Structure formats: C-alpha cells, structure tokens
Structure 1
Amino acid sequence: MPQFLKNYLAKMRGGGNKSPHAVNWRNALCSWLGAFIGLALLGWLSTSSSLTEHDHLILIGPFGATAVLLYGSPAAPFAQPRYVLGGHFISAVVGVTVYLLLPEPLWLASALAVSIATVLMYLTHTTHPPGGATALIAIIGSDSIHAQGYWYVLNPVMLGIVLLLLVALVVNNLSPLRKYPNYWW
C-alpha cells in the first residue's frame, strides 16, 4: 500500500483520546428544559395556525438539531447567535432560490441547495450544521412550503430561530455553570 494512502487512512483512527465532554446533572437539566420549552413553544404555535395537521410549518426538522446545539452544547461555536441566525437565514434563502430556479430533478436541486448553503455559511463565518437541513427542506418540503416562496425564510425559519434563541438566553443562564451566549457576532 502506498505511504500516502497509509497516512490518509491512519487519520481515520482518531487521536486515541476519550471525549472531554463532562456530564453534570445541572447541565443535563438545563438541556432538557431548554429543548422542551423551545420545541413545545414552536409546536404550540404550529397547532394554533390555520394549516392542516401535516403542515406544522413553524416546527421543522432542522429546529430539533438546533435545539440540541443551543441547549445541549451552548458553549459550542455552532450554537452562538451569529451562527444560528446566519446559518439558517443563508440556508433558507439558498434553498428557496434553488427550488425556484431548478425544482427538478430533486436529487440535483437538493445537492445544489445544501452544497451552496454550506459554502456560503463557511465564507460568512456562520456555519450552523442544521442549516443544511433548512436548505434541504426548502427543496423536499411539502407544497405548503413551496407555495411560501421567500416567506419560508421569515416563517418558519427566522421566527422559529428567534424564539429558540430567546428560550436559550433565558434557560441557559439559569445554571451557574453556564453562560449564553459566549459572543453575539
């Protein structure tokens, strides 16, 4: 086997260290409380809308992943407001734009939306991994999402993210072991 291939494959073994993530019951409680309140709020707002039962537009999949970051790892760079707001905003705009310009084939539109959103988040220092799912939902979402066009950026995406961030500000600062955010911009 060529040496460059051995070196390349050796990287995949990892550093050999154990995870440095310490477990603390107060942090676990804050994580649970934040995720519960944040997603319950979005779910409640979704059920109070005039949409059908299957079109809970304020409660979209990427918000579950964002909740894990905001409440489970509030000190992580990807959980800071700049990344959360910017990543979802950019990804939503990209997703809607790609869908409007190239709705078919689905596989190509999906790949373009997520890859373009990824590059733009990277270039603007707003990389937020759930943003990739926000772009993808704009492509593979229901007819209700497609009918929204650029309104999708404002509702559900920005409305949902602002509400999740407000909950993060309140809940993450309840524990003396936490401070949120570490920085805004």
Structure 2
Amino acid sequence: MRARIRRQYRIVRYVLYRETIVSPADHFWTFAGTFIAIASIGLLQQAGFTQQDGVFLIGSFGASCVLLFGATNSPLAQPRNLIGGHVLASLIGVAVHKLLPDQLWLASALAVSTSIVCMQITRTMHPPAGATALIANIGSAKILGLGFWYTLTPVLSGVLILFLTALVVNNIPAGRSYPVKPLVWPRQLRARVIRFVRLR
C-alpha cells in the first residue's frame, strides 16, 4: 500500500513539475516580448504626458503581459479575450463610476463583478481586464477625468500595442505561435479583394 502511494506521488510530482518546465529560449522570448510591449507604451506616455499622470501605463497591462508572453497558448491570452475583455471592462468601469461617483466601495465592486459576468457572457474572459474596470473607479484624477475616453486611450491604444507586439514576437521562434488558432479574417479579406478585382 505504501509503495503504491509513493509511486503515485512520484508520478503526480513528475507530471506537475514537467508542466511547469519552460525552456531557456522561452525565457528569452517572454522577456523580449514583455520588455518591448511595456517600453512602447511607456515611451508613448513619456512623449505626451508627465510621469505623474500615468495615463498610458496602467497596471492591468503588466498582468496581460504575463498571459501574452508567459502563457501564450492560454485561451485567456487570445486576441478576442485580450481586446474584448479590456474594452468591455473599461466601458463598464467608466459607466459604473459615472453612475456612482461618490460610492467608491460600491462602484469598485459593481464594476469588477459586472465586468467578469459580461466577459463570461461574451466569451472574452481576460483576468487582467478586471483590474481595468477597477482602475476606472480608483484611478488618479487624470484617469477619472477621461470619462469614456479612458476606453480609447489608454485602454484600446495600449491593448493594440500589446497585441501587435505579441503577434510579432510570439511568431518568431519555431515553438511559439500567436494566436493559437490562425486568424481567419486575413484569408477572408484576401478572397474578397480578389473577387472585387475580378468583377472590375
């Protein structure tokens, strides 16, 4: 009995450990992708705003980088989830803040919980987006003053930088691909363009 338990323990430990092994090449690409993405957003911020404003660099982007470059194959890191989750959560966060501007605890709780449910419904679950909804309620006066512009910048502009960086960096090494399923729309767009040219 003890021998069997020990054997099962060794198997489980091996499987769990093996699942967490990442090759040194993956460490490099994770670092490179994250560095390029955050540096690009930071440079954009530095070019247009003082460092105290912190408008372009929001905390949820760091968490998104963990998924995009550290867990590239995760369903939660895919483009639909990344873009849809952040945009949806930012809209909900701002709407709740406008509805309950003086009730920080209630607005924060309502924004995050509603965002999660809406992401579940729309199949755009992206955990860092919960922070995006929260930041819309607890952010600096500069962020709160943006209103619905918060969705356009910093959220959408930052998310597009993250997405484009992930698209380039994660497709350079042979063992990585992003997104996991190839994008369908470029092929559909190409077919429509060819059809349009032939009709003319």
Structure with higher helix content: 2
Per-residue deviation at 1:127?
A: 0.4
Quick one: which of 141, 144, 147 aligns to 1:143? 141
Residue pairs, 1:20-59, within 5 angstroms? 20-49=19-48, 51-59=49-57
1:111-163, CA deviations, whole angstroms, 9 ceiling, x for partnerless residues?
Answer: 00000000000111000000000000000001111111100001000000001
Q: Which has the higher contact order (CA 8 A, sep 6+)?
A: 1
CA distance in 1 between counterparts of 2:122 and 2:131 reads 18
- Partner amino acid, structure 1, of 2:93: G
1:92-121, CA deviations, whole angstroms, 9 ceiling, x for partnerless residues?
Answer: 000000000002221111000000000000
- Partner amino acid, structure 1, of 2:160: V
Does the Cα contact within 8 Å between 1:47 and 1:56 map onto a contact in 2?
Answer: no
1:38-90, CA deviations, whole angstroms, 9 ceiling, x for partnerless residues?
Answer: 000000110001x3321121111000000111011111001000000010011
What's the TM-score, normalizing by structure 1? 0.88
Match of 1:6 in 2: none
Q: Greater Rg, structure 1 or structure 2? A: 2
Secondary structure of the structure 2 residue equivalent to 1:66 = helix
Match of 1:164 in 2: 162
CA distance in 1 between counterparts of 2:89 and 2:68 reads 18
Residue pairs, 1:57-96, within 5 angstroms? 57-96=55-94
CA distance in 1 between counterparts of 2:20 and 2:179 reads 19
Per-residue deviation at 1:23?
A: 1.2
Identity across the alignment (%): 46
Secondary structure of the structure 2 residue equivalent to 1:18 = helix
Match of 2:152 in 1: 154
RMSD: 1.5
Aligned residues: 170
Establish whether residue 126 from structure 1 lines up as the match of residue 124 from structure 2: yes
CA distance in 2 between counterparts of 1:118 and 1:155 reads 21
Structure 2 gaps of 5+ residues are: 1-11, 185-200
CA distance in 2 between counterparts of 1:60 and 1:53 reads 12
Per-residue deviation at 1:26?
A: 1.0
Does the Cα contact within 8 Å between 1:62 and 1:133 map onto a contact in 2?
Answer: yes
